[in-house]
Amino acid sequence: MSPVLDTASVPPRDREEVVRDAVWESVVRIDIEHHLPPDDLAVHIGLDTVGPIGVCSARATALTIQRTPRLAREDIEPAVFLGLQVTGTSVVVQNDREALLKPGDFALYDTSAPYTLLFNEGVDQHFLRFPRAALALPERSLRDVTAVALDSDNPLARLASSYFRQLAISEELHRGRPAEAVVEPSVELVRAVVAAQVGREDLARGPLAETLGLRITHYMRAHLADPDLSAARIAAAHGISVRHLYTVLARSGISLGDWIRTHRLAECKRELATPQGRHKTIAAIGRSWGFADATHFSKVFKQAYDISPREWRDHNRPHPSA
């Protein structure tokens, strides 16, 4: 995660204003009251995104954050924050409730309503920002779960705590295919935690069914290089029958075998053109993307691209300068 703000390099007289502007621009519009004088306050913020999910990791000296009624009313893109406590404690206040967070606990809060965050011991949290529309939670259910300490007493919250901590700190999950693969599971995990907390199993069932096709294609992308990727394995991973798997894919116009072969060939084509690919045999590249037979790989590659793997690699070899 790239740092976006470190007050160590900011003159003390400017620190409060710089912190406020950075948070307003990059995270959310809030009022910040620092408990220490400017010479002693310290703030370090790292910011990233995972698709539509914002990820902010913050460490700071003691402060209080308020989302005032006016700021809440002005919100044109409501979001739900998941605040995950790393060390120390903090308090989340919203909808006439208070949640004391200890390390590993997290709480949800909604930007469309006022809230207060108390960090009397300093800040050490990961903040994950979900578009409220993406979560698609009923108003009553969201209200009932905000400012509630979600801790190890809730087994799904225990799982979510570990999952979202890894999502926040693992930069390799913030880019490319890994990022594409984790967006839907992240949204559904939040929904599942809320469903378990408020006793509404239907909150999880509906969206899970609606997003099954998307989750299947994300799974196939994530496991594209696995030689044993098959209809049976994909179906088992999603708790459905092979017949239902083919039905879901057909609705999206996907033929399973063609989809896997096409995407594997595309990865082989990409790798053959890289400097790293020039140091591997063509057969090894094919095997790394599920093509066990080198002759078959060369044949289907040429059928797909009208050029052999070797010709394609040679075509992308850098030419020596004159």
pLDDT in tens, 193-250: 888 888 766 555 555 565 677 678 878 888 888 888 999 999 888 778 999 999 989 9
The 3-state DSSP class for residue 128 equals: strand
Cβ neighbors of 12 (< 8 A, separation 6 or more) are 38, 39
Q: Are 92 and 99 in contact (CB under 8 A)?
A: yes
Half-sphere exposure of 61 toward its Cβ, with a 13 Å CA cutoff?
A: 16
The predicted pLDDT at position 77 comes to 83
CB neighbour burial string for 131-167, b if at least 16 within 10 angstroms, e if fewer: ebebbebeeebbbbbbbbbbbeebebbbebbeebeeb
| 10: confidence class by pLDDT, cuts 50, 70, 90 | very high
Length of the chain in residues, anyone? 322
| Centroid of chain to Cα 167 | 6
Q: For 80-113, what is each residue's pLDDT tens digit?
A: 999 999 999 999 999 999 999 999 999 999 999 9
CA angle 280, 281, 284 (to 5 degrees): 90
Structure tokens at 174: 């913030």
**Spatial distance between the Cα atoms of 193 and 254, rounded to a whole number of angstroms:** 32
145, 108 Cβ separation under 8 angstroms? yes
109-166 pLDDT, tens digit each: 999 999 999 999 999 999 999 988 888 788 888 899 999 999 878 788 888 999 999 9
pLDDT digits (tens, 9 = 90+) for 263-316: 999 999 999 988 888 889 999 999 999 998 999 999 999 999 999 999 999 888
Query: What phi and psi, each to the nearest 5 degrees, are found at residue 122?
Result: 100, 170
Query: Is pLDDT above 60 for 258?
Result: yes
Side-chain-side CA neighbours of residue 122 (13 Å): 13
Task: Give the pair of three-digit tokens for residue 107.
Answer: 């709480």
Residue corresponding to tokens 């190890």: 152
* Dihedral (CA of 134, 139, 140, 142) sign: positive
Cβ neighbours, 10 Å, residue 298: 17
* DSSP H or E segment with residue 32: strand 31-34
Q: Name which residue leads in pLDDT, 170 or 317.
A: 170
The per-residue pLDDT for range 184-194, each reduced to its tens digit, is: 888 888 988 88
Contact 189, 80 (CB under 8 A): no
pLDDT for residue 263: 92
- In terms of Cα–Cα distance, which of 178, 187, 254, 271 is closest to 217? 254
Which amino acid is located at 294 in the chain?
A
Reported as a single tens digit per residue, the pLDDT across 195-205 is: 888 876 655 55
Taking residues 167-195, report their average pLDDT: 86
Residue 103: which of 83, 123, 88 has the closest Cα?
88
Q: How confident is the model at residue 322 (pLDDT cuts 50, 70, 90)?
A: very low
